Structure 1
Amino acid sequence: MWLNSILETIGNTPMIELNKSVKGLPCKVLAKVEYFNPGNSVKDRMAIKMVEVAEKEGLLKPGGTIIEGTSGNTGMGLALAAINKGYKCIFTTTDKQSKEKVDILKALGAEVIVCPTNVEPEDPQSYYSVSRRLAQQTPNSFYVNQYDNLANRLAHYEQTGPEIWEQTEGKITHLVVASGTGGTVTGTGKYLKEKNKDIQVWAIDSYGSLLTKYYRTGELDTKEVYPYITEGIGEDFVPQNFDMQYIDYFEQVTDKDAAIMARKITKEEGIFVGYSAGSALQGVFQLKDKLKKDDVVVVVFHDHGSRYVGKIYNDEWMMERGFLEVKTLKDIISGRKDNKLIAIDPDQSVVEAVELMKKFDIENIPVKNGEEFIGSISESGLFQKIFANPELKNEKVSAVMENPYPIVPIETPIEKGSHLISRENGAILVSDELGNHHIVTKFDFIHSFAQ
């Protein structure tokens, strides 16, 4: 039996028990993997619900334009609805969102306007303000406003909550949701607490968001707000979709810890998750002292990791922010007893080069003319050339030298530096902060990988 449209595939996402990534936790942890929705995120549920409610209430008319401020995922759900229902889409987003999200929205036919992140919500440049202004200026348009549109949390009350209850056979003791608009945590939490008032609902927040302090004190403290990198969670205001009576605890997670945990989930479970899933599971670890052996924790994994391949799944991006601790060429060099570079002049003889190799027990020597590296000598290259022509041993080094070694910065990751080693090129030169040079050979890389 076939389906009438892609929209009919929304919901009924799988529940998967976590294994390796949750070692150290005392209880069973289940993941509600929402990237199985057609738009690859939990936001598909509320996107279609908000559209359906707007249609029913006459707010969205045939041929109309859907306008929304989105971190990406809600926009994708709305775009899927628009394609199948004949609407246009204009979305505003922030410059901290991944390029992949923006590109996908455009691929789905939406117009996307990127706005600055580091401005107040009321600022005319904010993606909230721009989306509201566009809705006022665009004829036959509907401003979705996922933050205050209560159809958001209604979708999760009607769908996500019942699914989790049935999939756990009512055994769930804790629901953990990384929260932004408040729709998922409130709607799902409300349903589950109506089934069992003892179920604990934990909202996971990001440092730089004011939601946690607001929950704990009731104070809207803008001093809590500062730029952060984690996408899709936390806010600099309190959306109306939040109903704090259904939340038992708020916990904040750093950008770094969230990114590292997301990568850990992907690597150890084979579940390719997005940034906020890392926040959610990291929150569970931070609150593990509140858990008992027989607890059943359900963690919502909001979206798919493909939207973050240029960010948390990119080693260079992670290293630039100090999120990834990797070995660099500096680790190889600092571990040596003697870092003096042995080089040879192009006018010296091949015999002298061989004597240097014997004396220092080395196989690769850079050829240096003054301050410039112009070539190299290798034991294997010399052997081949002298074997073919024994008279070359009396020639100058310049007659037998090979190409100069590549020169790279000392902070280059070891794995990246190793890619410069080949059959023809057995070493690289490393430039340190003082302008000195050091040689790193094939043997050095093999030794570092074996440690």
Structure 2
Amino acid sequence: MDFSNTILETIGNTPLVKLNKVVAEIDALVLAKVETFNPGNSVKDRMAVKMVEDAEADGRLKPGGTIIEGTSGNTGMGLALVAIIKGYKLICVISDKQSKEKMDILRAVGAKVVVCPTDVEPTDPRSYYSVSKRLAEETPNSWYVNQYDNLSNSLAHYEQTGPEIWKQTDGKITHFVVGVGTGGTISGVGKYLKEKNPNIKIWGIDTYGSVFKKYHETGIFDENEIYSYITEGIGEDILPKNVDFSLIDGFTKVTDKDAAVYTRKIAMEEAIFVGNSAGACIKGLLQLKEHFKPDDVVVVLFHDSGSRYVGKMFNDDWMRERGFLDENVTKAEDVIKDHIDKELIVVRTEELVSHAIERMRKYKISQIPVVDITGFVGSVDETDLFRSYVADKNVAEKPIKEVMGKPFPIVKLGTPIEEVSKLFTKENDAVLVDLKNGNYHIITKYDIIGSIK
């Protein structure tokens, strides 16, 4: 009989799959190392087992102990599998930008999940780096994994992933392209491949908001490059010890939008349902196409499964909210089509200013049309109300008609977006759209900005 003693024995030996449509512009053989075939559906299963076994061997992790790690989700899943099989408890510290699916999956396999804010410095006590360390100090019989600086991470890929790729390509690989986060995959695979053939090029995919590319090119850790970004699993605001820059031939950066768009393209054009970093890798690959020749064999690694992003990159509403869907916005009706059924919030001339303020809070809006029995007669804006309040603290009890401004301009559904945009001025922050049935909708500056691709 052919069977595995535990699920951990099924990790590795993932397939190499030829890519076709999504890389049609590249004049080379492009192969994807599809790591979603691992039992935890990501490449992180490999290093999770290696880090745990090495910690067991040298006594850092003791029987019945608690494993603690800061993770974007995938390492946590790999650690959860190991913890279940080996009898450990697991606490995963995760940033709030990670998908809900990742958090739910971790809880489903028994991990305690602690969520931390993304938009804080690594040294901030609220950051997931700091919280992980603090929990490790406070929890008896615990071990802090620290995948960023734990060199068992890159060693796992040196011992497993690198040799697999070399064998699967019969040593013909010329380029390895992979997203860089902790650095374990690119450094471990890169070290093995360059030992086999120093001419193999190792390319890292970075994201805007991360420090890797500039640091590799200049040696400068530029804090001005650090800002919040959406792409998951790649890029960092620190320099992990697992990133061996001497093994990397170059980086290319990919935008959040391109990473999201190409994540969907891989599913639709190759029938491979993989995650956000895979989309970034394919777009990065296309940006590097002048480096590839017809006889080259390019291997790109797909980190994880698309199932962890169904509420994000694979959700039209999520994509649309961020301007990631390339929809043709040419008329007023294009701007409002996704929320055209929403009721227009208004305030009447004799209502109090406090009523308008309450409506702005409730519906999270900044502009409200003012009506009377004849129709639209004015407008109120949160900035104007604030100025009125500063001038007169009793303004909240005054009728709207005493503080309202001019009514918003009204346009037809078919009005070109260029004409609508001209109606926005310093004095006017909204436009009303006539829906032809006695109803109206509002377009704000935010809506116009959101429609810009």
TM-score, normalised to structure 1's length? 0.75
Equivalence map 1:49-198=2 (5 Å): 49-198=50-199
> Partners in 2 of 1:127 and 1:171 — Cα distance?
41
Distance in 2, matches of 1:86 and 1:317, equals 38
Aligned to 1:7: 8
The match for 1:42 is 43
Task: Determine the C-alpha separation between the residues in 1 that align with 2:139 and 2:215.
Answer: 35
Cα distance in 2 for partners of 1:252, 1:99 equals 26
Aligned partner of residue 31 in structure 2, secondary structure: strand
- Is residue 223 from structure 1 mapped to residue 224 from structure 2 by the alignment? yes
Match of 2:432, SS state, is coil
Q: Do 2:332 and 2:433's aligned partners in 1 also have CA atoms closer than 8 Å?
A: no
Q: Is the 8 A contact 1:102 1:112 kept in 2?
A: yes
Listed one character per residue, the Cα deviations across residues 249-272 of structure 1 (whole Å, up to 9, x for unaligned) are 111110001111111111000000
Q: Report what 1:419 is aligned to.
A: none
CA distance in 1, matches of 2:201, 2:262: 22
Task: Give the Å deviation of 1:246.
Answer: 0.9
Secondary structure in 2 matching 1:285:
helix
- Runs of 5+ consecutive residues of structure 2 not aligned to the other structure: 336-373, 376-411, 415-429, 438-453
Q: 2:407 maps to which residue?
A: none
**Is the contact made by 1:328 and 1:410 (CA closer than 8 Å) also made in structure 2?**
no
Distance 1:230 1:201 in 2: 21
* Superposition deviation, residue 435 in structure 1: 3.6
Matches of 1:219 and 1:282, distance apart in 2: 26
Residues 33-70 of structure 1: CA deviation (Å, up to 9, x unaligned): 00000000000000110000000011111100000000
> Per-residue CA shift, 1:88-117, capped at 9, x if unaligned?
000111010000000000001000010000
Distance in 1 of aligned mates of 2:252 and 2:267: 23
Percent of pairs with identical residues: 65
Instruction: Write out per-residue CA displacement over residues 196-228 of structure 1, whole angstroms, 9 at most, x where no aligned residue.
Output: 000000010000001111111111111110000
Q: Does 1:436 align with 2:434?
A: yes
Name the aligned partner's letter for residue 179 of structure 1.
V
Matches within 5 A, 1:35-434: 35-327=36-328, 330=331, 433-434=431-432
How many Å apart are 1:291 and its aligned residue? Answer: 1.1
State the AA in 2 paired with 1:38: P
TM-score by length of 2: 0.74
For 1:26 and 1:206, locate their aligned partners in 2 and report how far apart those are by CA, in whole Å: 25
**Cα 1:166–1:331 shift into 2, 3 Å:** farther
- Alpha-carbon offset, residue 331 of structure 1: 7.5
Question: What letter matches 2:88 in structure 1?
Answer: Y
List per-residue Cα deviations over 1:341-363 (Å, max 9, x = no partner). xxxxxxxxxxxxxxxxxxxxxxx
In 1: Cα distance, 2:149 partner to 2:16 partner: 29
Letter in 2 for 1:437: L
Question: Quick check: 1:333–1:438 contact (8 Å CA) kept in 2?
Answer: no
Partner AA of 1:304 in structure 2: S
Q: Write the distance in 2 (CA, Å) between the matches of 1:145 and 1:24.
A: 39
Stretches (4+) displaced over 4 A: 327-334
